[in-house]
Structure 1
Amino acid sequence: VGVRGGRGGGRVAAAPVAAAAAAAAETPSTLSAVAATPPTVAFGLSDRLVFAIDEFVALNPAARLLALSLLSVALIGVGSVLFRRADPAAKEVTAPVWSAVRAYVNPMEDDWSSNLLRVVSCVNAAAGMIFFALLVGMVTEGVEASIARIHAGTSAVVATDHVVVCGWNGHVPRMLASIYNADPATRVVVLATARERSALVAELADVLSADQRRRIKLMVRPGVPILKEDLARVAAGRAARIILVAPSPSGGDVAATSPSSRAEADRLVLSRAIALRDALPAYGGGVLAEVSSPRDAALVKKILAPTGARVRTMATDLALHKFLAQALRQPGLCEVVSRLMGDGAAEAFRVVPVEAAAPHLIGRRPSEVSPTDVPGSILCGTVDGGAGGALRLGVGNAKRVGDAPLARGTRLVLLGARGGAAAGAGTGAKGAASTPPPSASAPLLAEALTVPVRSAASAAASAPESILLVGWRPDVRATVEELGAAVPRGSTVTIVAPDADLGLPNRVGHARIVHVRGEAGRYDVLRDALTRRRGRRVARGGAAHDHVLVLSPALNGGAADLSADALEEDAKSLASLAYVVAALDANGAGAANDVHVAAELMSARVGEIASAELATGNVIMPRVLASQLAAQAVRDSAVYRLWMELLTQAGRELYVRPAAAYVDVDTPVRASFAQLARSVAAERDDVVLGYVPAGAVGMEGAVLNPAGADLDGEREWGAGDRLIVMSDE
């Protein structure tokens, strides 16, 4: 298969990513690798009994009915034993004391021989009723108090090797799903305030399936993560991992996503880290802290360093703001990323030791292997063995010089696991591939390239782009900075916002910044912005911009998908999106002129409306992707490092490109996906992860990690086909 020429050579992840990688390597990559820490809290027999009952009742809906039935059977059994001992001959008790007792407990019995005895019996019966009324009240009060304590979750947690989540936000439900998928037996305890608990139930129901909610071992305890007694109550000292999450911003206005709001959330995480150090000075487990500032991330590690804890940090929201710059310029990329971050084993990244996934590759250099040399997976790169091993993406490029042979301990970066491929480390023979591995004596890649290729000089230079942002939030500054670094020179970013000052310079990177002052929700303002370029009105049928992005007024990370705040903000974005489509149609522009319209939304429900009613397939949901990225950080630190590189301009990124960017479609090209992937790797050092066939609607027809005929069957690659690639070009 012939491909256009491009730059080659191996490369290591950029310095910021490498620094994060070194910090991430301080902790085991998976939950199963975390060793139990020594107990720091002593629990008595009563504590263990209360916790066992509490956990049984909390995790089993029918527990109360079962407990009441067992208690009744037990009382009946005890009574039977006592009566047998008291009256072996089964004769009626006639002594005065026992007669009085009988009257107390059974006032309806009437076999007395005189009226006087009946009167005495009635008096005793009345006294018995009063006695039992008081007794029932006392028992009821105690039972209600016990049930209230169960609902409130105030009992101490008696567990080891569990996960403690300090706080709550919209990312936590997907974190829990990731923990459950990695190890369904793991207990998770959430320490949340009253306000956070109110959002917990709704968000769990929105993200987790009914089966996951039923099976996951989740317990909630009220409390504040900075109080030593609350941390002791959830047995934080015995936990395998403690997760410090950034609190959700309050409210749904623009201020909730401002830098000051994110700084406030970081300060709360810092305070929780300080409290953790004070409460658990010898904690040796893993700590995962969610902070947005690199400065605060370094400070969290410094605070917890004396404890000996293995500390990692994540900045999911900031990474996704940067990814927004890629998503708005590439329709369908957001959906591809969402699939790659999903739970499907066939389409998810994993990092596995070479001896577990592909022992036949040991001793071969990365430049000598093909992306399809691991059956059932796409080989994307390697992670050096040892602590802080460098992440190296790209294989099969003969232009690399001096790359070291693969050895035991080296980990492979793989996409997917199909057809019995090993799903993780230590799978051994059970994870062996169902198809034989390629022979070590396979022909060199260069020998397999037999189709003539177009010269690199035939590739047209990228033309300047014009991008329109409808609306503004302070946190979008990171997106604009990423755009400035990504777009060709001479490009323009126009921002429609009522603010007098956006706090941006006239030029950011390669892009000139233009501020159109006006309400982003008014049709006349949007019409003028869409039909004018540099102050001049474009001709009818023309387009003033290549890409249009309707920004959400506020991205409240803690709002549930069906909350009033989320739906209200999305309703505003949906109305602005309708105005954009109408204004383009009125001027005769739109999809026919390659104007890509995207919308940033919080709710998947509103996203479906935008796609169906307004024909906008490029719906970007940073809130959902940020939650998925947080789940990656919990699942595997190495995979999180990979995503931090792919989502930003540092290192490689994901692209959805026309097949014509790689193969000469002017001449019919017939080849299998495996041949195409090998050729692209050899000539361009890019990794092809999948493709979108011509005629596919959106990304529904996208094939990631092809298998069977999709992998080995020959097909003709034409101008309508698109490739999903990992590239640094």
Structure 2
Amino acid sequence: MARGTVALVSGLALLSLVFIVLMAILVSLSGLAPEGSDRLNLPEALWGVLMRTLDSGAVGGDTGWGFRLLMLFVTFGGIFVVSTLIGLLSSGIDAKLEDLRKGRSRVIETDHIVILGWSLQIFTLISELSLANANRSNTCIVILSEKDKIEMETALAEVLGKLPRIRLVCRTGSPSNMADLGIVNIQTARSIVILNSIADHGDAQLVKTLLAITTIPRSHPQPYHLVAQVQSPKTLDVLKLIAHDDIEPLLTNDLISRIVVQTCRQSGLSTVYIDLLNFSGDEIYFREEPALCGKTYGEALLAYNKSAVIGIQTVNGDIQLNPAHERRLQPSERLIVISEDDDTTYLNQSADAPIDYQAIQLTELAPAAAEHTLILGWNDRIETIIQLLDQYVAPGSSVMVVAEFPSVEVNLSETTLHLQRQTVSYQQGDPTDRDVLENLNLTKYNHAVVLCNSTLNTDQADAHTLVTLLHLRDICDRHHHDCQIVTEFLDVRNQTLAQVARPDDFVISEQLISLMLAQVAEQKNINAVLTDLFSPEGSEIYLKPAGHYVASDRPVNFYTVVEAARQRGESAIGYRRKASAKNLAQSYGVVINPPKDQPVEFQPQDMIILLAES
């Protein structure tokens, strides 16, 4: 009995068999039989005893008191022995079903996508992966988490519903346990995404998970394709020691901080990033174009009608976004393009692009002026945000931080943060308190950033952010002050609620992280592009007035806009309509990769979206 269900069932099955055989031999040797029947041979006796053992009602049809009494004993034996065996079999089946319900059965899939861990990002991540694999039949995504299997399946069904051509399989277990990784057949997975939330004690759990994965031998000739969230830059060296080139780390805190900084200075930028990163619109592709070999990068910018060129990938894999326009493409180098799909990237038939040179008017940009930024709230990214902001603003700028911590607990200074272009000050106060905001003299600030509190749960953090945003917008309206307000949210569903307060832009951190994870899971090389794109060094995405490039009094095609940007050493990839800046249905006016041959008539406040160094 101590050996478990299998041993117990086997023992009882053997005992039942012995009982049936012994009783059959006794019936056969004793010559007992129903009245009017001949003596039963051994096979007939075995069958009769078996039937009466399994079915206690069978004894009711017996005749002859001797035979009745013997069959009654057999029936009682069946009740105590065989019925116990049947009960154990039923319990064993129930136990196995319960084990399956708990998500402990082995996954038999191959070439599947594995997600390790669970967080709010998982819903956007799976949604994007399903879009990316829409042209593949029978794609399987396996989730391994310590959450209950039924809870995971219920949550996914409620948020995502039925996903076409995608099968979701949930398993309960620890991502850092080798046995549990074996359950999801990790060694045959196409790609592996490791979620790593702040609640997981930084990167310690991530390191353990990677050690467990790399210990399991790969079943495919291709190496592991690992994508992981990393909290601290100090962890990168450890990850490379463990997984070498098999892992693509995403420094999520650093990336979100950069997006917050860039977005607070350029309204609409987060929408540009979301359009580039999701799989429902235009995406980033790598394309080798032998016909353009020897041509300059500036010529390549005008070589496609339905694709926007943004850079070059060298033979050794280095990424160059918006390189010098005189740079010539070398053999085997690939262009980095934005296109609706990889099959929509084809060269123009005509060698000369239809450019309206008379519509080009390059206006000198005004020199940068000092900027004053207000940061409301506090999270782990605050110091990084201030340091990054210092790399963009003009000398003489300032930043004010308002949070609930006492001043003695906060160590923000120009010396500590190594600031060169701006001063920093701190004031204790609750950002959701109207009186605190009224006393800040908001009219002196050019930009305001409302940060979410990562120590609260998602709903509470976003609720505090919404309250702060509502007060902030109302105060600015009453003073007729045009302050650009950027708001950070955790849950994308709260973006609709925030429309009432008319923020200039959103940074939905969990959504952006999910989009980046999905992109890198599908294309490993994308990580290098994202790292370069969000880095202060080199070229980044900017939104600049359309009137500084082309005339606004007549329609021009986008070839003309690209040429105007090219003459400034920039790569134009789209535009933003000011009239639709508040319209969610029109992507807040953002248009990425428009067909270059279609005319566009720009209004004075419209912006050109381009890659530039400043």
TM-score interval, smaller chain: 0.7 to 0.9
Cα distance between partner residues in 2 of 1:454 and 1:378:
21
Which protein has greater RCO, CA pairs closer than 8 Å, 6+ apart? 1
Match of 1:271 in 2: 208
Cα distance between partner residues in 2 of 1:315 and 1:207:
27
The DSSP-based 3-state class of the residue aligned with 2:520 is helix
Query: How much has 1:606 moved relative to structure 2?
Result: 2.4
Match of 1:147 in 2: 97
Structure 2 unaligned runs (5+)? Answer: 1-36
**1:472 lines up with 2:369 in the alignment:** no
Query: How much has 1:240 moved relative to structure 2?
Result: 4.8
Match of 2:234 in 1: 295
Aligned pair in 2 of structure 1 residues 223, 662: CA closer, same or farther (>3 Å)? same
Query: How much has 1:713 moved relative to structure 2?
Result: 3.1
Query: Residue by residue, what CA displacement relative to the aligned partner does 1:541-584 show, whole Å, maximum 9, x if unpaired?
Result: xx22222222112277xxxxxxxx21112112222222223333
Cα distance between partner residues in 2 of 1:274 and 1:329:
41
Match of 2:579 in 1: 695
**1:216 lines up with 2:122 in the alignment:** no
Query: Residue by residue, what CA displacement relative to the aligned partner does 1:328-353 show, whole Å, maximum 9, x if unpaired?
Result: 22222212211221112x42222233
2:205 is matched by which residue type in structure 1? L
Cα distance between partner residues in 2 of 1:555 and 1:655:
32
Query: How much has 1:697 moved relative to structure 2?
Result: 4.0
Query: How much has 1:125 moved relative to structure 2?
Result: 4.8
Structure 1 unaligned runs (5+)? Answer: 1-91, 251-260, 424-430, 532-542, 557-564
Asked if the contact 1:365/1:406 (under 8 Å) is kept, the reply is no
Cα distance between partner residues in 2 of 1:145 and 1:93:
46
Query: How much has 1:597 moved relative to structure 2?
Result: 2.2
2:269 is matched by which residue type in structure 1? L
Q: How does 1:222-301 map to 2 (within 5 A)?
A: 222-225=173-176, 227-246=177-196, 248-250=197-199, 264-278=201-215, 280=217, 284-301=223-240
Match of 1:633 in 2: 520
Query: Residue by residue, what CA displacement relative to the aligned partner does 1:421-461 show, whole Å, maximum 9, x if unpaired?
Result: 634xxxxxxx785xx72334x37x9x8623463553xx322
Q: How does 1:581-620 map to 2 (within 5 A)?
A: 581-586=473-478, 588-589=479-480, 593-611=481-499, 613-620=500-507
Query: How much has 1:619 moved relative to structure 2?
Result: 2.6
Asked if the contact 2:319/2:532 (under 8 Å) is kept, the reply is no
Match of 1:43 in 2: none
**1:404 lines up with 2:328 in the alignment:** yes
Match of 2:285 in 1: 350
Query: How much has 1:141 moved relative to structure 2?
Result: 1.1
Query: How much has 1:120 moved relative to structure 2?
Result: 6.3
The DSSP-based 3-state class of the residue aligned with 1:285 is coil
1:378 is matched by which residue type in structure 2? A
Cα distance between partner residues in 1 of 2:151 and 2:203:
20
Give the root-mean-square deviation of aligned CA atoms.
Answer: 3.5
Asked if the contact 2:52/2:74 (under 8 Å) is kept, the reply is yes
Asked if the contact 1:185/1:217 (under 8 Å) is kept, the reply is no
Match of 1:536 in 2: none
Query: How much has 1:320 moved relative to structure 2?
Result: 1.0
Q: How does 1:530-541 map to 2 (within 5 A)?
A: 530-531=441-442
Using the aligned pairs only, state the percent identity. Answer: 20
Cα distance between partner residues in 2 of 1:694 and 1:93:
103
Match of 2:11 in 1: none
Cα distance between partner residues in 2 of 1:406 and 1:128:
85
Query: How much has 1:621 moved relative to structure 2?
Result: 1.0
Alignment match of 2:337 (pick from 410, 414, 417): 414
Cα distance between partner residues in 2 of 1:713 and 1:243:
40
Query: How much has 1:526 moved relative to structure 2?
Result: 0.8
2:474 is matched by which residue type in structure 1? A
**1:504 lines up with 2:453 in the alignment:** no
Q: How does 1:297-696 map to 2 (within 5 A)?
A: 297-305=236-244, 310-344=246-280, 346-354=281-289, 359-371=290-302, 373-385=303-315, 387=316, 389-394=317-322, 400-401=325-326, 403-407=327-331, 409-417=332-340, 422-423=342-343, 433=346, 437-440=348-351, 442=352, 449-451=357-359, 453-454=361-362, 456=364, 459-499=365-405, 500=407, 501-506=409-414, 508-531=419-442, 543-554=443-454, 565-586=457-478, 588-589=479-480, 593-611=481-499, 613-665=500-552, 668-681=553-566, 683-696=567-580
Cα distance between partner residues in 2 of 1:240 and 1:463:
50
Asked if the contact 1:361/1:406 (under 8 Å) is kept, the reply is no
Cα distance between partner residues in 2 of 1:228 and 1:713:
56
Asked if the contact 1:156/1:234 (under 8 Å) is kept, the reply is yes
Question: What number of residue pairs does the alignment pair up?
Answer: 559
Asked if the contact 1:316/1:629 (under 8 Å) is kept, the reply is no
The DSSP-based 3-state class of the residue aligned with 1:146 is helix
Cα distance between partner residues in 2 of 1:544 and 1:422:
48
Q: Which structure has the greater CA radius of gyration? A: 2
The DSSP-based 3-state class of the residue aligned with 2:579 is coil
Cα distance between partner residues in 1 of 2:441 and 2:151:
39
The DSSP-based 3-state class of the residue aligned with 2:400 is strand
